[in-house]
């Protein structure tokens, strides 16, 4: 029985655990409601004749904001969540090296994110088809490749940030350097401030895409 642990078998085991943990009824319902609400809001707010700009805006929002934030949330807490739930000992006492365990967690969470965003992107493009946006066929492969690579990269960075803990962290000397601090058990990295900056810039152009009544609460310099 005590044979060497096969990486493929261990990966299947970890995937079974991650899938079961992530795909609870409550989680699926929350994601579904969020996606439907976002899609409905987009359908309502896209101005006629500005579908192309809208698509550019959405893709920017998707790739530069939603993917990094979700990766940060999911992969940044993948090990920390086990620590906080006191369930890490069940994993740490398996016959696996620490780095293998970390790699398995990373790969399984990345795969889960890939599935989520694949569904999201297809939904987004379906929305574009409904609104008769042009050039979707040529854009789709590029979009899929970009998000595939972006998820790997953002998840890797987030997973490494998630390993940091407070005593090892210091404020960055420069705002563009990656620093992190612990907030409620999850790393809040300075990349989030970049994301907020992105939102601020996008909000400045809010009037270009959305009806003015939707933007009246946005006070910009």
Partner 1 sequence: MSGESITPVIQATELSRWYGIVMGLNNISFEIGPGLTGLVGPNGAGKSTLIKIITGQLRPSDGALTVFGAQPWNNPEVLRDIGFCPEDDALPDHLRARTWLRGLAMLSGIAPSAAPDHVDAILDRVKLERVHWEKPLGQFSKGMRQRVKLAQALLHHPRLLVLDEPMNGLDPMGRQEVQRILKQLAVEGTTVLISSHILHELEALCPEILILNWGRVIASGSQLALQRRLQGTEANLHIRCSDPVRFTRVLFEADLLLGFDSTDNDGDDGNDGGLDLRVNDPQRFSDSLVDLLTDNNIALHELRSRDRSLQDIFEKMTE
Interface residues with partner 1 (CB under 8 A)? 1-6, 9-10, 12-14, 16-17, 20-21, 24, 85-87, 89-98, 104
Give me the least distance between CB of 108 and partner 1, in Å please: 10
The answer to whether residues 186 and 73 touch, using CB atoms and an 8 Å cutoff, is yes
CA 151 vs. chain centroid, Å, equals: 7
Largest distance between two CA atoms of the chain: 68
C-beta of 102 vs 152, nearer to partner 1? 102
The Cβ of residue 176 has, within 10 Å, a number of other Cβ atoms equal to 9
Distance, in Å, from the CA atom of 194 to the CA atom of 55, rounded to the nearest integer, reads 22
Provide the pairing of β-strand 180-183 with 186-189. antiparallel
Q: Is 86 left (phi over 0), alpha (psi -120 to 50) or beta?
A: left
Give me the least distance between CB of 165 and partner 1, in Å please: 14
C-beta of 1 vs 177, nearer to partner 1? 1
Give me the least distance between CB of 7 and partner 1, in Å please: 11
Strand partners, 180: 189
Give me the least distance between CB of 95 and partner 1, in Å please: 4
Token pair 């899609």 is found at: 39
Return the DSSP state at 210: S
Give me the least distance between CB of 81 and partner 1, in Å please: 10
C-beta of 58 vs 96, nearer to partner 1? 96
C-beta of 2 vs 173, nearer to partner 1? 2
Name, in order, each residue with C-beta under 8 angstroms of 89's C-beta and a sequence gap of 6 or more: none
Give me the least distance between CB of 54 and partner 1, in Å please: 38
C-beta of 14 vs 78, nearer to partner 1? 14
C-beta of 64 vs 100, nearer to partner 1? 100
């Amino acid at each position: 029985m005590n044979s060497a642990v096969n990486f493929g078998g261990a990966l299947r085991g970890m995937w079974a655990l991650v899938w079961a943990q992530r795909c609870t009824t409550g989680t699926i319902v929350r994601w579904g409601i969020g996606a439907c609400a976002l899609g409905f809001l987009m359908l309502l707010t896209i101005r006629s004749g500005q579908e192309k700009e809208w698509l550019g805006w959405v893709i920017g929002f998707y790739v530069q904001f939603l993917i990094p934030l979700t990766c940060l949330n999911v992969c940044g807490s993948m090990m920390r969540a086990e620590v906080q739930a006191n369930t890490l000992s069940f994993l740490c006492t398996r016959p696996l090296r620490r780095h293998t365990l970390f790699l398995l967690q990373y790969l399984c969470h990345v795969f889960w994110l890939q599935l989520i965003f694949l569904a999201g992107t297809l939904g987004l493009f379906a929305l574009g088809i409904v609104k008769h946006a042009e050039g979707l066929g040529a854009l789709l492969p590029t979009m899929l490749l970009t998000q595939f690579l972006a998820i790997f990269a953002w998840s890797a960075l987030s997973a490494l940030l998630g390993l940091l803990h407070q005593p090892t962290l210091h404020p960055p000397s420069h705002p563009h350097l990656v620093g992190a601090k612990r907030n409620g058990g999850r790393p809040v990295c300075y990349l989030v401030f970049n994301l907020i900056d992105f939102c601020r810039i996008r909000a400045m152009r809010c009037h270009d895409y959305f009806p003015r009544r939707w933007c009246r609460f946005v006070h910009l310099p």
